[in-house]
């Protein structure tokens, strides 16, 4: 379906977190199926392991980028002041000659939301939601706050230190920002944009937001099941220099400084696991050196800066179980990649995570407010399983990943969305499509 389409992917980075993994997987999958694909990024970041001809840094006019950064981080104003993206949306061939433009993370002071209505005049748009930012006044996860359903304002994020507000700036302009986003999306024709959510949870929130006037699809993030596959645990531990004996529980995050990732649990959890004797905590990902030193003193094993998929696969295989400590998540790759490697996951049942784990079969879902005691109890429960039960859980985890997170399924689903928009633009189907039934 839709063979030979020209697709432009748009994202803040080419490589860092879950959204970037989704973009890279999608790019490779579309290329393998014969499409012409370009990834445009706002910031290069760490050099991606992608063919250079398929990745380009968006042109930038640095004085206005600095102005946008000031207005966004200090003034609290959303992404609406950059002028160059307006010109690019109407003139840049990667936008105007594409069959579909597929946006992912649009905040980060590289894009202008008002470019979406301009772009939609010529080119259909797909937007994949990796968090709540497009439907709120500034936060990427609203947590218990429901103000985004009304007008925002009096944002509870303002009670936190500035560096822990994520995308909410120094001043509370959330009410203005939400009004701007609603106005932007009212200016986009309803048949020119499709919203995609990896989880049913986020799709249901989007339906109640300014995005609810558009067609909403649920397409789970896909995993390369060849790159993430079961392997020999002893060999993986030797390669990583990890202890050959004992239970290892892996907690991995791209950046433990992100307040959503539950990093405050790392030290007490490492201490509790060691005191209980159930096993040791392995912490992987970007982490402050002072915290890393305290974790080592608490018998934890620290492996910083893990980006290479082959190394990450070894980590999953070396561990007995993965732990997801996050307070807020959408559809994290840590869960699906761990399951693909045959490693069950113990996680807080937040956001879309509860859709990713079969409780008691491929891991354990803990209450959203679970703390150290609940994680240790779940680790002890897993450690008490018989070898046959352990093997059954590992096999069930792999089958679960194959059934639900195969990269091929994700690519084919996006192909169908693209082809529908292209056919609609060419008047091959009626201009008003019924809202599809969301995937189970």
Q: What is the pLDDT of residue 429?
A: 44
Q: What is the pLDDT of residue 432?
A: 42
pLDDT of the residue at 437: 43
> What's the sign of the alpha-carbon dihedral 31, 335, 324, 239?
negative
297, burial (CB in 10 Å: exposed 0-12, middle 13-18, buried 19+): exposed
Pairwise CA distance, residues 222 & 17, whole Å = 14
User: What pLDDT, on a 0 to 100 scale, did the predictor assign at position 426?
Assistant: 79
**What local confidence, expressed as pLDDT, does residue 247 receive?**
97
pLDDT given at position 351: 96
Find how far residue 116's CA is from the centre of its chain. Answer: 21
Q: What does pLDDT average to in each consecutive run of 10 residues of the chain (440 residues)?
A: 82 87 95 96 68 85 90 91 95 96 96 97 97 96 94 93 82 96 98 98 98 98 97 98 97 92 97 96 96 97 89 97 97 98 98 96 96 97 95 98 98 97 73 43
pTM for the full model? 0.92
pLDDT at position 408 is 97
Please tell me the predicted confidence (pLDDT) of residue 405.
98
> What is the SS3 assignment for the chain?
CCCCCEEEEEECCCCCCHHHHHHHHHHHHHHHCCCEEEEEECCCCCCCCCCHHHEEECCCCHHHHHHHHHHHHHCCCCCCCCCHHHHHHHHCHHHHCCCEEEECCCCCCCCCCCHHHHHHCCCCEEEECCCCHHHCCCCCCCCCCCHHHCCCCCCHHHHCCHHHCCCCCCCCCHHHHHHHHHHHHHCCCHHHEEEEECCHHHHHHHHCCCCCCCEEEECCCCECCCCCCCCCHHHHHHHHCCCCCCCEEEEEEEECCCHHHCHHHHHHHHHHHHHHCCCEEEEEEECCHHHHHHHHHCCCEEECCCCCHHHHHHHHHHCCEEEECCCCCCCCHHHHHHHHCCCCEEEECCHHHHHCCCECCCEEEECCCCCHHHHHHHHHHHHCCCHHHHHHHHHHHHHHHHHHCEHHHHHHHHHHHHHHHHHHHCCCCCCCCCCCCCCC
Could you tell me the two tokens for 13? 């980075």
How many C-beta atoms surround the C-beta of residue 154 within 10 A?
Answer: 11
């Amino acid at each position: 379906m839709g063979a030979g389409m020209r697709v432009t992917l748009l994202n803040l980075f080419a490589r860092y977190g879950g959204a970037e993994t989704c973009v890279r997987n999608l790019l490779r999958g579309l290329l393998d199926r014969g499409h012409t694909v370009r990834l445009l990024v706002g910031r290069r970041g760490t050099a991606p392991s992608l063919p250079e001809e398929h990745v380009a840094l968006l042109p930038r006019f640095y004085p206005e980028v600095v102005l946008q950064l000031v207005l966004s981080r200090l003034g609290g104003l959303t992404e609406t002041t950059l002028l160059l993206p307006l010109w690019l949306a109407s003139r840049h061939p990667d936008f105007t000659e594409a069959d579909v433009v597929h946006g992912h993370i649009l905040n980060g002071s590289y894009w202008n939301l008002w470019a979406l209505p301009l772009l939609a005049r010529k080119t259909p748009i797909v937007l994949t939601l990796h968090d709540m930012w497009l439907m709120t006044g500034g936060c990427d996860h609203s947590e218990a706050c429901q103000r985004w359903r009304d007008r925002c304002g009096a944002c509870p994020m303002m009670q936190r230190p500035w560096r822990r507000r994520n995308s909410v700036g120094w001043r509370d302009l959330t009410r203005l920002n939400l009004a701007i986003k609603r106005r932007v999306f009212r200016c986009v024709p309803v048949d020119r944009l499709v919203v995609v959510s990896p989880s049913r949870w986020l799709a249901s929130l989007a339906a109640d937001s300014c995005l609810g006037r558009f067609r909403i699809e649920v397409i789970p993030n896909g995993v390369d099941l060849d790159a993430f596959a079961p392997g020999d645990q002893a060999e993986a531990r030797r390669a990583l220099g990890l202890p050959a004996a004992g239970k290892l529980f892996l907690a991995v995050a791209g950046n433990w400084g992100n307040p959503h990732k539950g990093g405050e649990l790392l030290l007490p959890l490492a201490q509790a696991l060691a005191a209980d004797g159930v096993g040791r905590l392995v912490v992987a990902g970007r982490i402050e050196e002072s915290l890393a030193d305290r974790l080592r003193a608490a018998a934890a094993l620290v492996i910083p800066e893990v980006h290479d998929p082959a190394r990450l696969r070894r980590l999953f295989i070396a561990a007995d179980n993965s732990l997801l400590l996050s307070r807020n998540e959408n559809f994290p790759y840590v869960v699906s990649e761990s399951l693909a490697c045959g490693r069950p996951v113990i996680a807080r049942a937040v956001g879309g995570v509860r859709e990713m784990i079969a409780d008691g079969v491929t891991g354990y879902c803990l209450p959203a407010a679970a703390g150290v005691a609940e994680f240790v109890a779940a680790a002890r429960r897993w450690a008490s399983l018989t070898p046959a039960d352990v093997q059954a859980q590992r096999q069930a985890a792999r089958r679960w990943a194959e059934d639900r997170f195969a990269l091929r399924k994700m690519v084919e689903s996006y192909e169908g969305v693209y082809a529908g928009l292209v056919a609609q633009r060419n008047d091959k189907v009626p201009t008003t499509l019924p809202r599809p039934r969301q995937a189970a």
